[in-house]
Chains A and B, each alone.
Chain A
């Protein structure tokens, strides 16, 4: 390949100046004029209850109230992968905070005052608040109609239970192999729920105009998926996809929380009730915590068998996900984990059971890491313990078992390229593995922890990307894609890819956030796949434009298109070194012939991409046979910590993370992902923690008691290491990197704390309190009463 000018360069992000100066606009910044209406939601105070009556009459009398709506007005189901939700609760509520009614009024204040006058009476039911209770044969069914819910073909609900989906993956014979193992360790690890805590809360403005168009301005990662869900859900109102337009300005963070459709369904539905007036639904921070998506809780039972030489022979991994009241998105998190819960290891004998379990807690859903962050905590803690049991260095143990290109994945397909061994070696060198750091003062102990990680996008097999681009008179380009700029630098990277193909500086390409009327289709910006998927589409669009440019030059001048190339905003020919034609001289107006007429015209390009090799047709009992995942991105990470033995406080001195990204289109942005993901992950392991009371009400839906990191809580050093083993089907060899960087954060800390002070904590988060009380021997973790069961090697 020729030397690249734009791809691989640290181009300054194209949205940076706008954001720094405050010019960037977010949904709540948009002006809708004096007719803008405001909606306030009436939420259920109960986690599980039957609705016996709703009286809206008092609320309707409040001056300034336009309409009060309830489930009766919208008896429509919706959902991304499984239609298990209603726009408003119908006959029962399934989590505290669920929307029961809405007041639309002329001001937010009137709406809030009137909402307090909506009288809802409930018959409270016993809530099911954890997976163990949900699985009991006597458990109350949260969705008695489960079997009848429309769903994607790769979900396998168990009717008349609370199991919404059960992903089984079987390879080899785990049971038999476990008997052959020299050492077997079995234990349980618990991961609580987490909140995304994007700084911008969810907000949507809907306008159903008198021309029959429904336009939504939405803080979303998923404009086209939202359009699709809105169209499906509101089809009975006569709306089709062409009538619905979703505009997504910049968003203040997503992390998965603004993927799919959660509260946004309210904006779409309510707009249809007040035709001609825009209506805004804006979540408070409390609603942001209670009624969007939460990261699902996980109770993971791990049983792993290894040989004395350090070879892993078998893994049994049972994952019980606390998926909450609705799993229309969350069940796919469970599915993803169930296909990949071996981690990036060669495991010949595998038995994975990943269960999506309904509870009466808020709906679970996508959160950076999509199931992988959750299961890596237990898996990588377990790996460290097994290495210790056989007397092997944990890094050497990981290296020995690390997955390599061509290995057979748990579901039978082949592992894609990626150099995990290099990642291990470089992280070990960077963190100074094997070297004990000197404590900075008496009373503290130092330690290091290591972890591998992997993750694949979890997408339907036909998740697609597309792109348009068009040249302008001055040779500049507008590129229209519908991946979402969620802070990761997507717009910049797409511009770099187009720039490389079109030999045009990034500054001459404008890429903006999506509008489904104008921009090309994109499934959603999730799964760390848009650089890969949409990047391929942009590349195809640029190449199509280039072919059109070559064609018109060929027709005008007779040059062989095979000799033509683009350089520095000009078309050139290898056969005619003195020929040069600037883009601005022909991309709109064409090329004039000696006869005075013009050839060509406005140059456009369009491109599409779909991973045509994927399928979700694996056997439900084994997952063998399909090719559900496009590729895995692999890497390694480590932490160096200092633990105060008296207070239990952990100070993270350094983290190091190596990831094989295939090709870093923009290394600075990759480094940004490493730092951001690591800090976000460290918060989940050190202090973030959702706490619910015995009736299922979230006790800390605020930043007073749900702590997210501040500048003071960043490690002293976060060291990113980029490895580039090309992905053959990726743009310039790139594969995804976004979620990956927070996946190893929890286990590197758990392992480093164990190394420092000799306590193995098996439930997240590892708060200072837990560590101090464990050291003192006085901590009684409600989740654990034993240290796990194990079979030790016999002496010989």
Chain B
């Protein structure tokens, strides 16, 4: 039960939301899906003066795909995202990730943007948006600006968003040419769980991008590993070198969900399985998007 007192506003326009936010500053909280915020309110972890519910702002609920650019409005839920034909066709990595994110009830409510605004180290959308090199659109009384995903996370629960600003959406460019991807999430069991560790890998003929979740203060890109995987080394050797480079890219800790030893060890397994799965998907032979290679891994079996 929520015992703290606060005002509730449901503006109809973005301008009104920005005005309210400007007036209340840090004592305002944006309410979208509420799947994080309501829990924090119940546990007295946040005590805002006002909740600004952005679900009444029609423009924020839009999801579009034009000129190879996906735009996810700040009100778009995980379910809306994964039910979009454009997303299923061109960005299947979202579908794979979303299948492991919480449960149907939460996905029906939680927003993609809200997930990265909460900015917990284990957020599943983080690594995925990072490998797609997505860009956030932000607006405030000072005007509009864009923040690339690579500059978004500043620490656990900390982002580049300034007081008075609101994220209106995120744009995700479709990778050029033939491409494939894989999201692997280490969980304590098959049911819904926060990631003990996660990895997203995206490859095309020209690029390879890798990002990790839950193994650093924020989701992180792994440029060294990307460089190794796109080098001229033979694939097996490159993979081995990439796995060796994991400790340089991550800093796992021991917490309730896992020891740093297990996290560290599993990152190697996850990277290997994800890279091999991406390779087989690029060839058109890999498993359908939506499997968790940590539970049901087939790339090795096909290779042998």
Q: Mark B279-304, 1 if CB is under 8 A from A, else 0.
A: 00000000000000011011011001
**Which chain B positions have C-beta within 8 A of A21?**
none
Task: Kindly state whether residue B147 has any CB partner on chain A within 8 Å.
Answer: no
What is the bound-complex CA distance between A108 and B189, given in angstroms? 36
Q: Check A710 against B191 for contact (C-beta < 8 Å).
A: yes
Partner of B256 from A116, A705, A711 at Cβ < 8 Å: A705
A720 to chain B, nearest CB (A): 23
A28 to chain B, nearest CB (A): 13
Task: Kindly state whether residue B83 has any CB partner on chain A within 8 Å.
Answer: no
Chain A residue with the shortest CB-CB distance to B304: A442
Task: Kindly state whether residue A772 has any CB partner on chain B within 8 Å.
Answer: yes
Partner of A773 from B193, B256, B261, B298 at Cβ < 8 Å: B261
Q: Check A647 against B269 for contact (C-beta < 8 Å).
A: yes
What is the bound-complex CA distance between A767 and B189, given in angstroms? 9
Chain B residue with the shortest CB-CB distance to A704: B194
Q: Mark A186-204, 1 if CB is under 8 A from B, else 0.
A: 0000000000000000000
Task: Kindly state whether residue A443 has any CB partner on chain B within 8 Å.
Answer: yes
What is the bound-complex CA distance between A711 and B266, given in angstroms? 25
Q: Check B298 against A441 for contact (C-beta < 8 Å).
A: yes
Partner of B259 from A284, A699, A769 at Cβ < 8 Å: A769
Known: A443-B300, A773-B262. A112 touches B189 (CB 8 A): no
Q: Check B191 against A713 for contact (C-beta < 8 Å).
A: yes
B256 to chain A, nearest CB (A): 5
What is the bound-complex CA distance between A687 and B192, given in angstroms? 13
Partner of B266 from A112, A647, A767 at Cβ < 8 Å: A647
What is the bound-complex CA distance between A767 and B257, given in angstroms? 11
**Which chain A positions have C-beta within 8 A of B256?**
691, 699-700, 705
Task: Kindly state whether residue B265 has any CB partner on chain A within 8 Å.
Answer: yes
**Which chain B positions have C-beta within 8 A of A687?**
188-189
Q: Check B269 against A707 for contact (C-beta < 8 Å).
A: no
Task: Kindly state whether residue B66 has any CB partner on chain A within 8 Å.
Answer: no
Q: Check B190 against A443 for contact (C-beta < 8 Å).
A: no
Known: A691-B256, A710-B190. A441 touches B3 (CB 8 A): no
Q: Check B190 against A707 for contact (C-beta < 8 Å).
A: no
Q: Check A108 against B1 for contact (C-beta < 8 Å).
A: yes
Partner of B257 from A113, A705, A776 at Cβ < 8 Å: A705
**Which chain B positions have C-beta within 8 A of A776?**
265
Task: Kindly state whether residue A213 has any CB partner on chain B within 8 Å.
Answer: no
**Which chain B positions have C-beta within 8 A of A699?**
256
What is the bound-complex CA distance between A635 and B194, given in angstroms? 37
Q: Check A710 against B1 for contact (C-beta < 8 Å).
A: no
Partner of B192 from A686, A691, A710, A767 at Cβ < 8 Å: A710
Known: A443-B300, A647-B294, A700-B256. A769 touches B189 (CB 8 A): no
Chain B residue with the shortest CB-CB distance to A109: B3
List residues 179-212 of chain B with CB under 8 A from any CB of chain A: 186, 188-194
**Which chain A positions have C-beta within 8 A of B266?**
647, 772
Q: Check B191 against A712 for contact (C-beta < 8 Å).
A: yes
**Which chain A positions have C-beta within 8 A of B295?**
649, 651
B40 to chain A, nearest CB (A): 13
Q: Mark B1-38, 1 if CB is under 8 A from A, else 0.
A: 11100000000000000000000000000000000000
Q: Check B265 against A773 for contact (C-beta < 8 Å).
A: yes
**Which chain A positions have C-beta within 8 A of B261?**
773, 778
| SS class, residues of chain A in contact with chain B | loop
What is the bound-complex CA distance between A686 and B193, given in angstroms? 14
Chain B residue with the shortest CB-CB distance to A284: B1
Which interface residue of B189, B193, B258, B301 has the most chain A CB atoms within 10 A?
B189
Chain A residue with the shortest CB-CB distance to B196: A769
Task: Kindly state whether residue A790 has any CB partner on chain B within 8 Å.
Answer: no
**Which chain B positions have C-beta within 8 A of A36?**
none
Q: Check B3 against A442 for contact (C-beta < 8 Å).
A: no
Known: A443-B297, A769-B258, A778-B261. A646 touches B191 (CB 8 A): no
Partner of A707 from B188, B259, B300 at Cβ < 8 Å: B188
Task: Kindly state whether residue A252 has any CB partner on chain B within 8 Å.
Answer: no
What is the bound-complex CA distance between A691 and B266, given in angstroms? 22
**Which chain B positions have C-beta within 8 A of A599?**
none
Task: Kindly state whether residue A588 has any CB partner on chain B within 8 Å.
Answer: no
What is the bound-complex CA distance between A772 and B270, given in angstroms? 14
A471 to chain B, nearest CB (A): 47
**Which chain A positions have C-beta within 8 A of B265?**
772-773, 776, 778
What is the bound-complex CA distance between A712 and B259, given in angstroms? 24
Task: Kindly state whether residue A600 has any CB partner on chain B within 8 Å.
Answer: no
B300 to chain A, nearest CB (A): 5
List residues 61-113 of chain A with CB under 8 A from any CB of chain B: 108-109, 112-113
Q: Check B190 against A713 for contact (C-beta < 8 Å).
A: yes
What is the bound-complex CA distance between A778 and B298, given in angstroms? 27
Q: Check A767 against B188 for contact (C-beta < 8 Å).
A: yes
Q: Check B300 against A442 for contact (C-beta < 8 Å).
A: yes
What is the bound-complex CA distance between A108 and B3, given in angstroms? 8
List residues 248-269 of chain B with CB under 8 A from any CB of chain A: 256-259, 261-262, 265-266, 269
Q: Check B191 against A709 for contact (C-beta < 8 Å).
A: yes
**Which chain B positions have C-beta within 8 A of A442?**
300-301, 304
B53 to chain A, nearest CB (A): 20
Task: Kindly state whether residue A768 has any CB partner on chain B within 8 Å.
Answer: yes
Partner of B189 from A691, A704, A713 at Cβ < 8 Å: A713
**Which chain B positions have C-beta within 8 A of A710?**
189-192
What is the bound-complex CA distance between A769 and B297, given in angstroms? 18
Q: Check A707 against B191 for contact (C-beta < 8 Å).
A: yes
Chain A residue with the shortest CB-CB distance to B43: A286
Q: Check A112 against B1 for contact (C-beta < 8 Å).
A: yes
Which interface residue of A112, A768, A772, A773 has the most chain B CB atoms within 10 A?
A768
Chain A residue with the shortest CB-CB distance to B190: A712
Q: Check A709 against B189 for contact (C-beta < 8 Å).
A: yes
Chain B residue with the shortest CB-CB distance to A709: B191
**Which chain A positions have C-beta within 8 A of B259?**
769, 773
A647 to chain B, nearest CB (A): 6
Which interface residue of A116, A710, A778 has the most chain B CB atoms within 10 A?
A710
List residues 550-598 of chain A with CB under 8 A from any CB of chain B: none
What is the bound-complex CA distance between A108 and B42, given in angstroms? 13
Chain A residue with the shortest CB-CB distance to B191: A710
**Which chain A positions have C-beta within 8 A of B258?**
769
Q: Mark A758-787, 1 if CB is under 8 A from B, else 0.
A: 000000000111001100101000000000
Q: Check B189 against A686 for contact (C-beta < 8 Å).
A: yes
**Which chain B positions have C-beta within 8 A of A651?**
295
What is the bound-complex CA distance between A108 and B192, given in angstroms? 31
**Which chain B positions have C-beta within 8 A of A646?**
269
What is the bound-complex CA distance between A112 and B300, given in angstroms? 56
**Which chain B positions have C-beta within 8 A of A772?**
262, 265-266
A773 to chain B, nearest CB (A): 6
Q: Check A707 against B301 for contact (C-beta < 8 Å).
A: no
B184 to chain A, nearest CB (A): 10
What is the bound-complex CA distance between A776 and B257, given in angstroms? 19
Q: Check A113 against B190 for contact (C-beta < 8 Å).
A: no
**Which chain B positions have C-beta within 8 A of A686?**
189
Chain B residue with the shortest CB-CB distance to A443: B300
What is the bound-complex CA distance between A705 and B192, given in angstroms? 11
Q: Check A768 against B194 for contact (C-beta < 8 Å).
A: no
B105 to chain A, nearest CB (A): 12
What is the bound-complex CA distance between A441 and B295, given in angstroms? 11
Q: Mark B105-148, 1 if CB is under 8 A from A, else 0.
A: 00000000000000000000000000000000000000000000
**Can you give 26 contacting A-B residue pairs, CB < 8 Å?**
A116-B3, A441-B297, A441-B298, A441-B301, A442-B301, A443-B297, A646-B269, A647-B294, A649-B294, A651-B295, A686-B189, A687-B189, A700-B256, A704-B194, A705-B256, A707-B189, A707-B191, A710-B192, A712-B190, A712-B191, A713-B189, A713-B191, A767-B188, A772-B265, A773-B262, A778-B261
- Pick the 7 closest A-B CB pairs, nearest first: A710-B191, A112-B3, A712-B190, A769-B262, A441-B301, A646-B269, A109-B3
Given pairs A442-B300, A699-B256, 18 additional interface contacts (CB within 8 A): A112-B1, A442-B301, A443-B300, A647-B269, A649-B295, A687-B189, A704-B194, A707-B188, A707-B189, A707-B193, A712-B189, A713-B191, A768-B188, A769-B258, A769-B262, A772-B265, A773-B265, A778-B265
